[in-house]
Amino acid sequence: MHGHMNRVRLLVFNAAIGALDYKVPEGMTVEPGSVVLAPLGPRQITGIVWDEKRLPANDVPASKLRALVEVMPVPPLSAPLRRLIEWTADYYCAPMSAVARMVISSGGALNGPATMTEYRLSGGMPERMTPQREVAMEALEGEQATIRELAGIAGVSEGVLRGLVNQGVIEPVSVAIDRPFPPADPDYDIPELEPEQREVADRLNEAVKARTFAPFLLDGVTGSGKTETYFEPMAEAVRMGRQVLVLLPEIALTENFLKRFEARFGASPVLWHSSLKSTERRRAWRAIADGTAQVVVGARSALFLPYRNLGLIVVDEAHEVSFKQDDGVRYNARDVSVMRARFEGFPVVLASATPALESLQMAESGVYEKLDLHSRYGGAELPHIERIDLTEEKPGAGRWLAPRLVAALEDRLAKGEQSLLFLNRRGFAPLTLCRNCGFRFQCPNCSAWLVEHRLSRRLACHHCGHETQPPDACPECGEPDCLVACGPGVERIADEVAEILPEARVAIATSDTLNSPERAAQFIAEAESGAVDIIVGTQLVTKGFHFPELTLVGVVDADLGLEGGDLRAAERTYQQIAQVAGRAGRGAKPGEVFLQTRHPTAPVIAALADGDREAFYEAETEARRMVGAPPFGRWAAIIISSEDDAEAREAANRLGASRPKVDELMILGPAPAPLALLRGRYRYRFLVNARRSVELQRIITGWISGQNFAPGVRVGVDIDPYSFV
Ligand code: ADP
Ligand code: ZN
């Protein structure tokens, strides 16, 4: 198809270099999308052969061009994937090189097949047996892994094992890093679907078979069995030999999902997330690229991988904020999923019990097909939601739980049922101050208070990770024992529960306590076995869990999410509380939910208590229409930052002075960003609001690229922002 290309333009992974042209040496064949190694100065760099017209021209004469070094042994990026890279870069005002880096996200994978050395017992005996050696040899019976992993398994030092290797008791084995993944069996255990589930699954199966673009919004109440339902079209795609991608928001919580997946398909899916080891990463990347990875379950970054033969994407909990990336390329995996499905021609399913307003709007206007699951699986009832007006029913002094909620906790404990207290605040207290002089502990790098973590005895910034030990005396006035914790975090609530109900077994579930898949799995196993009476958790526990004995949910501060007052505060609050409420009463026993609030008549709170989703969405839609917010208009945020405040301010002001004047486009700012100092950088912000008809990205790109910023200044563009800090 492609004639011999003897001059090619490369997209390289460094935005500052831009595009480079090379000569293709005699005997080498490349095509658009080929991943190649090229010389640059004394080094070699990786690049992708790209359509010349999409990259800045390069006027180096042919005689001066250097030759490509080699073509990497991976399949060329397909035309639709290259188009996705271009679209993502254009839409989010990001460099194409940065998007391409998300595709080539494993350097090792490019080097072709590789082996690694593992070790196992050889059957021989050591010259001299020691107690440690005996323990190790017993523990390693039937194991094969790296020395380091074996040392972990046997509970001995690596040195002990190396000694055994030297004596031939443990022998090396060479294994392919890229050994294939166990196959998923689409017919392993097909569940009996309820009629409503069956109807949805049949429609999705049909779409998978049609092999054409079809976007779906799967709108099902919490506990309706969305997972079981979308497993069916996944199985269909696997039967057809096509790949499936499932995007999940919180990778720490995939354990529950994986168990259900294994029960349905008889094998684990291929996992993709940021904490994979580099060998696991390259193994997954290569299997994805050669098409042998049948089902991939991953965090948002799995979306950009070079699937050879994708036939379906499912975005579960599609409303989740964690699908929006807030640094680097600021994309929303939910929206880019739909574009990928469109470019490659297959169905995409956005599943949620509380869809984003934008998604509902797309369904209403007929762009997405809406599929509904109205009732909970197995006849379970949706929980009853009640408000506790904190201005009337006050918690005791220094306490955060109102008497009615405490009584409900006592009642569940007596009945042997589980309860969940939800507060979206990690740590013990969000602010520590000095009673004597009023000093407040603030992060030196951010305009944020330090959060006290009493379990780990530290004061920590949740924005930059800065940590210190809480001192005994105030650092300002020197007064000893005068520091007080203000406000509650989950640890403080857990303490309160322990005081009121000393016999209750309490578990704290946050990203601090469930910081690895193993710990998350352990927590779930404990909760399922009934070893936990009361869970105190952050948003980490709002989704994915299914504990049949959990019958009470208490929302400690239902107003918390509304405080920020940003564009999405009401929607986020609604979604979060509806999701956490959805954890109650999923089994045979009905659930009850208490919302502690100071604003019981606020529209969000009232809609939740009345179980009136429509009322909330209608009010929110009207509010958005009034201010031209999405989906009626569009927003973009532009953040100018520098380590030097004056430099940042000056750059922002200069940019402001050259603002474009366009009809139906409004530019607010510059003003100090709500987080005016973040990770040591001073930040100024513009908010851009435009009608849908305006070419927002083109205008912003033109505006910014016309500027010469000082080297220390960074400019970040966030299209359709979710974070307003
Ligand atoms: P959702 O994601 O919609 O909140 P889940 O998919 O978690 O709901 O389903 C709730 C529970 O019902 C899960 O334990 C699930 O295994 C079970 N379930 C749903 N549908 C079926 C089915 N057809 N057969 C057996 N169990 C089902
Ligand atoms: Zn900080």
Does 130 share its domain with 205?
Answer: no
Query: 438 and 395 share a domain?
Result: no
Ligand 1 geometric centre to CA of 52 (Å): 50
- Burial class of residue 336, CB neighbours in 10 A (0-12, 13-18, 19+): buried
| Rounded-to-integer distance, Cα 172 and Cα 626, Å | 69
- CATH number for position 161: 1.10.10.10
185 located within any domain: no
Residue 367 and residue 220 share a domain? yes
Give the separation between CA 245 and CA 272, rounded to whole angstroms. Answer: 10
Q: Is 98 within a domain?
A: no
Ligand 1 pocket at CB < 6 A: 191-194, 197, 220, 222-228, 260, 377, 546
Known binding residue 486? Answer is: no
Residue 526 exposure: Cα atoms within 13 Å on the Cβ side:
17
In whole angstroms, give the CA distance from residue 288 to residue 304: 11
Task: With respect to residue 549, please indicate whether it lies within any of the assigned structural domains.
Answer: yes
pLDDT at 661: 94
DSSP per residue over 594-644, as a string?
EEEES-TTSHHHHHHHTT-HHHHHHHHHHHHHHHT-TTTEEEEEEEEEESS
Nearest C-alpha to atom 19 of ligand 1 is from which residue? Answer: 225
Pair (366, 438) in one structural domain: no
Q: What's the CATH code of the domain at 683?
A: 3.30.70.600
- The DSSP-derived string for 56-107 is ------GGGPPBP-EE-SSPPPPHHHHHHHHHHHHHTT--HHHHHHHHS--T
Cα separations in angstroms, 611 against 110, 291, 328, 384: 52, 45, 39, 8
Average pLDDT over residues 288-312: 97
Q: Is 1 a domain residue?
A: no
**Do 126 and 71 have their domain in common?**
no
Strand stretches in 299-430, DSSP E: 310-316, 347-352, 369-373, 384-389, 418-422
- Nearest ligand 1 atom, CA 194: 23
Name which residue leads in pLDDT, 621 or 176.
Answer: 621
Q: Per the structure block, which two tokens stand in for 627?
A: 């201010």
**CA-CA-CA-CA torsion for 483, 488, 489, 493, nearest 10 degrees?**
110
Average pLDDT over residues 143-172: 91
Domain total for the chain?
6
Residue 296: count other Cβ atoms within 10 Å of its Cβ. 24
* Residue 5 confidence class, pLDDT cut points 50, 70, 90: low
CB 530 within 8 A of CB 524: no
Of the bound ligands, which one is closest to the alpha carbon of residue 221? Answer: 1
Q: What is the CA radius of gyration of the chain?
A: 28
Mind listing the pLDDT tens digit for each residue in 534-588?
A: 999 998 887 767 888 999 999 999 999 887 767 889 999 999 999 999 999 988 8
Q: Closest Cα partner for 266 from 200, 212, 189, 331?
A: 189
Torsion over CA of 149, 154, 160 and 162, rounded to 10 degrees? -40
Residues 272 and 335 in one domain: yes
Instruction: For residue 39, tell me if it sits in a domain.
Output: yes
User: One-letter amino acid identity for 120?
Assistant: R
**Confidence label for 1 from pLDDT (cuts 50, 70 and 90):** very low
The kind and range of the H/E element at 483 are strand 483-486
pLDDT given for residue 4 in this prediction = 59
Average pLDDT over residues 101-129: 89
Same domain (yes/no): 650, 523: no
Choosing from 81, 101, 128, the residue where a domain stops is: 81
- Is 482 annotated to bind ligand? no
CA–CA distance, 286 with 108 (Å, rounded to integer)? 10
Residue 261 has pLDDT above 70, yes or no: yes
**CA nearest 60: which of 110, 18, 107?**
18
- Do 328 and 442 share a structural domain? no
Which residue type sits at 620?
A: E
Same domain, 617 and 552: yes
Examine the fold and report which residue of 56, 81, 106 is the final residue of a domain before the chain moves on: 81
User: How close is the Cα of 588 to the center of ligand 1, in Å?
Assistant: 13
Give the residue whose CA is nearest to atom 14 of ligand 1: 546
CATH number where 596 lies: 3.40.50.300
Instruction: Respond yes or no on whether the N-terminal peptide bond of residue 670 is cis (omega within 30° of 0).
Output: yes
Instruction: Indicate yes or no: pTM above 0.85.
Output: yes
Out of 176, 208, 224, pick the residue that ends a domain.
Answer: 176
Domain contains 628: no
By most ligand atoms within 8 Å of CB, the mutation choice from 199, 222, 227 for ligand 1 is: 227
Within 10 A of 268 (CB to CB), how many other CB atoms are there? 15
Does 107 reside within a domain? Answer: no
Q: Is the pLDDT of residue 279 over 90?
A: no
Contacts with 649 (C-beta within 8 Å, 6 or more apart), sequence order: 670, 682, 684
Measured between alpha carbons, how far is 99 from 329 in angstroms, rounded to an integer?
7
User: Are residues 399 and 310 located together in one domain of the fold?
Assistant: no
Q: How far is the CA of 540 from the centre of ligand 1 (A)?
A: 20
Same domain flag for 606 and 618: yes
The answer to whether 434 is annotated as binding is yes
Let me know whether 446 and 575 are in one domain: no
CB 578 within 8 A of CB 353: yes
Rounded to 10°, the helix 333-344/79-91 angle is 140
Q: What is the domain extent for residue 713?
A: 633-719
Calculate mean pLDDT across residues 313-327.
94
Residue type, 712: G
In a domain, 462, yes or no: yes
Interatomic CA distance for residues 570 and 564, integer angstroms: 10
User: How many angstroms is it from 679 CA to the middle of ligand 2?
Assistant: 6
Mean pLDDT check: name the lowest of 18-27, 137-146, 366-375, 563-572. Answer: 563-572
The 10s digit of each residue's pLDDT in 117-144 is 889 999 889 988 898 899 899 999 988 8
